[in-house]
Structure 1
Amino acid sequence: MSDTTSSPATMRGWAIRAYGEEMVLMDNLPVPTPGPHDVLVQMRSAEVGDWDELVRTGEWDMQRPFPLILGLAGAGRVAAVGAAVTDFSENQQVYAYSYPLHDNGAWAEFMLVPETYVAPIPASLTPIEAGGVPIVGLTAHETLIDVLRVSRGDVVLINAAAGGVGHIAVQLASGLGAQVVAAASRRNHDFVAGLGAAAVIDYDATGDVTKAIRDQYPGGVDKALNCVAGKAANDYVAALKDGGKMVDLPGAISVQRPGVEIISDYVVRGNRARLADVSQRFDTGALRLVIHEIVPFDEAQRALDLVLSRHVRGKVVLQIV
């Protein structure tokens, strides 16, 4: 194993001492030591999403001791590797989403990750930019390709299409040959159309969003990806054609409709091969990352507040160093 003698014994990180408490920047957290199959990453940047608030409040229980470091994904350089790790070496630029087997969070100077969750960052992205990719990239990739099995000619509805997962999903579904119906606020219509959406509807409109979709696609949509919580998510169930299928990421759908399939228990997991495919799609130009703001490490609470405001276009990234 590459030893960690050059690394400090302690590190800074944003942590909570109990679920529901405000996060605090601690400076005496222990730097984790790699096990045989682990990679220790010195973090450059971390992804910020509404899932981080679920962790802070305890709605998503990480089942780890406190203090619990927040953050689930990010990018940086390999600082050390376990004795059995052969695919990564020190100073390599990598990124990862560390769930499950999540030993410590990404909002810290170091993160310990199982090697099977780690992949080299896209050559087309900087280490700071790459930190905004893992969760949204993996989520869009798995839900569209493996769960919904989007194929050429499908009509695919993507709700919150200008957001983190949404803006990647629009590009990916369009690249798979689907006709993308993007639901976004009025100010983002040109943006999502530029990502490849064939049609854009205003989810802030007071009118019937289902009617707006059915006016353009009378038979309904084949598949849908819902990326936001709230009762309005139920409106999109009626937009599915008979036999249609939806992945409901936040578990917001509460209506029942016979003849359609709603998947509300999906949880993305770390996966090196999938993340490597995401990297390739960035490097071929099939995907591009839009960053709303890169926020300094000391302002992590503001970064999370930005995401929770629901007015973010693309990704918020926390710059650690």
Structure 2
Amino acid sequence: MKTMNAIVQPAYGSVEVLRFEEVERPELGDGEVRVRVHAAAVCQGDVHLLTGTPYLVRLVFGLLRPKRRIAGQEMAGTVEEVGPHVTALKPGDEVYGQVPGGAFAEYVCAPADLFAPKPANLTFEQAAAVPISGMTALQGLRDVGQLKPGQKVLINGASGGVGTFAVQIAKALGAEVTAVCSTRHVDKVRSLGADRVIDYTREDFTRGPERYDVMLDLVGNRPVSDCRAVLAPKGVFVSSAGSPGGNWIGPVVWILGVMLAGMFGSQRMTSLMARPRREDLLVLRSLIEAGKVTPVIEQRYALRETAAALSHVAEGHAQGKTVIVV
């Protein structure tokens, strides 16, 4: 039996439930590839799957305990073996992608179509930081927001994992970018290309005279009515604000509020549910290799230190991405 090191989560709870263990390597299925994980990244979704909150997530991921004992979704590594009928990838390929679980380990097996070639100019650590956050920003701005060159966009929560990608992608799409973040992140966000940076500890972005064609809200810390007030008459509000609303219902009330607001007036109010797409990984790869997008990594941890990495992200003030070196 071949084994590997992994972070095992036997129950919902705090980081105290996590265990660094030697476990059996995952079996390779039809249409899957086995990837040697070199790096993984932590996203806010991993925190929700750790705690099992909001409790609605347990209906999908396990009512009493997690269905998947090994968490982790964003990763980069080298293909070790491919299953039957896999033609797009071969052993030795360097890939990155979003998997449904198992990335906090030395090996992961997942469908081949969840992976794309790693950007050639990124390290494995940098590439692991891209998939979920990069695709969320891309889909929110390009697909849902339908952002066009010359339009004005406001990004609330511009210093986080998704926000740092959103600033750069919006600039790559030709938009004029206003970014909202706290004082300690202002210089970093400005360095990413934002035309204007608002420090929310000193200025209320909902009180300014500027009106935006698109607003990407990654925080959910302001009422929808306040956000609507800064939109142009035909503006689009896109919410990808995690789970405002507490442990029980999480984002349900927030999403319903956004939907209700969208029923009135000429502005479009919508919530974003990002989906993993190989095509978008390829788009991000092109942007990265063209020098238009670069991952921002604040902290790196060893696999044994995954609990500390999750704690750092759970605090809610991380700059860019937090990466686990496997």
TM-score, length of structure 2 as denominator length: 0.86
Cα displacement string for residues 170-211 of structure 1 (whole angstroms, at most 9, x for unaligned residues):
011011111111001122222222212111111223x53211
Structure 1, unmatched stretches of 5+, are 1-7
CA contact (8 A) 1:75 1:93 kept: yes
- Cα gap change, 1:117 to 1:234, in 2 (>3 Å): farther
Higher helix share: 2
3-state SS of paired residue (1:182)? strand
d(CA) in 1 for partners of 2:21, 2:81: 21
Number of the residue aligned with 1:39: 33
- Cα gap change, 1:129 to 1:201, in 2 (>3 Å): same
d(CA) in 1 for partners of 2:303, 2:195: 38
* Aligned residue among 5, 20, 32 for 1:12: 5
Q: CA deviation at 1:157?
A: 0.7
d(CA) in 1 for partners of 2:5, 2:166: 34
CA contact (8 A) 2:61 2:67 kept: no
- Cα gap change, 1:18 to 1:229, in 2 (>3 Å): farther
3-state SS of paired residue (2:61)? coil
CA RMSD of aligned residues (A): 2.1
Letter in 1 for 2:279: A
- Cα gap change, 1:232 to 1:109, in 2 (>3 Å): farther
1:160-239 matches, within 5 Å, as 160-205=157-202, 208-212=204-208, 214=209, 217=210, 220-231=211-222, 235-239=226-230
Letter in 2 for 1:243: K
Q: CA deviation at 1:43?
A: 0.6
Q: CA deviation at 1:234?
A: 6.2
d(CA) in 2 for partners of 1:25, 1:181: 42
- Cα gap change, 1:15 to 1:247, in 2 (>3 Å): farther
d(CA) in 2 for partners of 1:190, 1:94: 32
- Cα gap change, 1:71 to 1:50, in 2 (>3 Å): same
Number of the residue aligned with 2:61: 63
3-state SS of paired residue (1:262)? strand
d(CA) in 2 for partners of 1:222, 1:84: 45
d(CA) in 1 for partners of 2:197, 2:304: 37
Cα displacement string for residues 196-245 of structure 1 (whole angstroms, at most 9, x for unaligned residues):
2111111223x532113x2xx2xx11111111243467643322222321
1:271 paired with 2:271, answer no
* Aligned residue among 137, 140, 147 for 2:144: 147
CA contact (8 A) 1:96 1:113 kept: no
3-state SS of paired residue (2:313)? helix
Q: CA deviation at 1:246?
A: 1.7
3-state SS of paired residue (2:5)? strand
Moved over 6 A (4+): none
Q: CA deviation at 1:12?
A: 2.2
d(CA) in 2 for partners of 1:291, 1:136: 12
Cα displacement string for residues 19-65 of structure 1 (whole angstroms, at most 9, x for unaligned residues):
33643224243322222211111111111111111111223345366
Q: CA deviation at 1:9?
A: 2.5
Structure 2, unmatched stretches of 5+, are 245-253
Number of the residue aligned with 1:312: 318
d(CA) in 2 for partners of 1:123, 1:67: 31
- Cα gap change, 1:74 to 1:233, in 2 (>3 Å): farther
Identity %, equivalent residues: 35
CA contact (8 A) 1:226 1:233 kept: no
d(CA) in 1 for partners of 2:158, 2:300: 20
